[in-house]
């Protein structure tokens, strides 16, 4: 009879431990889900704040002035434009500092070309250089 009581007590203790572990696992999963939702909420708040600041900037007179200068070529009163002859050292340094945009943009190879290069080793020349 003692052995039966001990066996029943062990079964009850094991089922209690199993239930506790299951509940801890469920709580852990729910906590991870809650943390993810909290991070998403904070990210949404930050994005909203950033968009609000951006909207205020676009409504500011500073943005309007910069846009007018950039797109319309307007200047403020009292400003003067200095045009240098193309052969002076200062003009050459300015043109050397600005990048040339005349280079053609190379189009990526088509899907078939990429597969043939992959399957038949067409890219091995590019790896050596």
**Residue partners of 81: CB distance under 8 A and separation at least 6:** 75
The answer to whether residue 119 sits within a structural domain is no
| Residue carrying structure tokens 């280079």 | 103
> pLDDT digits over 51-80, tens only?
999 999 999 999 998 888 888 877 778 877
Q: What pLDDT, on a 0 to 100 scale, did the predictor assign at position 34? A: 96
Q: What pLDDT, on a 0 to 100 scale, did the predictor assign at position 129? A: 44
> pLDDT digits over 22-51, tens only?
999 999 999 999 999 999 999 999 999 999
The band of 88, judged by pLDDT with boundaries at 50, 70 and 90, is confident
**Spatial distance between the Cα atoms of 118 and 127, rounded to a whole number of angstroms:** 13
Counting the structural domains of the chain, the total is 1
What 3-state class would DSSP assign to 107? coil
> pLDDT digits over 90-128, tens only?
767 766 665 555 556 778 888 888 888 888 877 655 554
The answer to whether residue 25 sits within a structural domain is yes
| Residue carrying structure tokens 């009850």 | 12
118, 126 Cβ separation under 8 angstroms: no
**Spatial distance between the Cα atoms of 59 and 63, rounded to a whole number of angstroms:** 7
Q: Domain range spanning residue 41?
A: 19-55
Q: What is the mean pLDDT of residues 5-22?
A: 94
The answer to whether residue 68 sits within a structural domain is no
């Amino acid at each position: 009879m003692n052995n039966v009581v001990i066996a029943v007590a062990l079964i009850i203790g094991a089922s209690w431990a199993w239930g506790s572990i299951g509940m801890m696992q469920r709580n852990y999963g729910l906590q991870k889900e809650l943390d993810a939702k909290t991070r998403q909420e904070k990210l949404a708040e930050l994005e909203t704040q950033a968009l609000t600041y951006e909207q205020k900037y676009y409504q500011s007179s500073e943005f309007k002035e910069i846009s007018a200068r950039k797109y319309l070529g307007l200047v403020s009163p009292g400003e003067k434009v200095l045009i240098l002859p193309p052969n002076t050292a200062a003009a050459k340094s300015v043109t050397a500092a600005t990048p040339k945009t005349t280079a053609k943009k190379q189009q990526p190879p088509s899907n078939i070309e990429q597969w043939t290069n992959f399957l038949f080793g067409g890219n091995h020349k590019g790896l050596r250089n």
